């Protein structure tokens, strides 16, 4: 199960990359929607790092209990 979570955490980076590209593409068309996509990209990147940090913390705790 741990390997599955490790795989899915990189999905966050893919979604953040898609939002980043979409924000750049829409920059000249609709600036307010572009800000929204860029904000989501930043938020999703932060979620990735937080989830990775806590997953490593749980793995470390589980390895100490064994």
Which pLDDT score, from 0 to 100, does residue 14 have?
95
Does a structural domain hold residue 50?
yes
- Domain presence at residue 28: yes
Select the more confidently predicted residue: 38 or 5: 38
56 inside domain: yes
pLDDT band at 49 (very low <50, low <70, confident <90, very high): very high
Q: 47 lies in a domain? A: yes
Tokens of 23: 């924000």
9 belongs to a structural domain: yes
pTM: 0.81
Residue 41, domain member (yes or no): yes
Q: Which helix (H) or strand (E) holds 38?
A: helix 31-65
66 in any annotated domain: no
Split at pLDDT 50, 70, 90, the class of 1 is: low
Q: Which has more pLDDT, 53 or 7?
A: 53
For residue 57, give both structure tokens: 């913390």
User: For a pLDDT cut of 70, what percent of the chain falls above it?
Assistant: 95
Domain enclosing residue 18, as ranges? 2-61
| Domain assignment of residue 24, yes or no | yes
How many domains does the chain divide into? 1
**Spatial contact of 4 and 19, defined as CB atoms under 8 Å apart:** no
**Helix, coil or strand: residue 25:** helix
Question: DSSP secondary-structure letter at 28?
Answer: T
Cα 21 to chain centroid, rounded: 14
Whole-number Å distance between alpha carbons of 33 and 58 = 37
């Amino acid at each position: 199960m741990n390997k599955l979570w490790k795989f899915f955490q990189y999905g966050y980076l893919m979604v953040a990359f898609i939002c980043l590209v979409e924000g750049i593409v829409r920059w000249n068309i609709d600036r307010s929607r572009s800000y929204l996509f860029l904000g989501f990209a930043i938020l999703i990147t932060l979620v990735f790092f937080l989830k990775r940090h806590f997953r490593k913390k749980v793995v470390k705790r589980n390895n100490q209990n064994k």
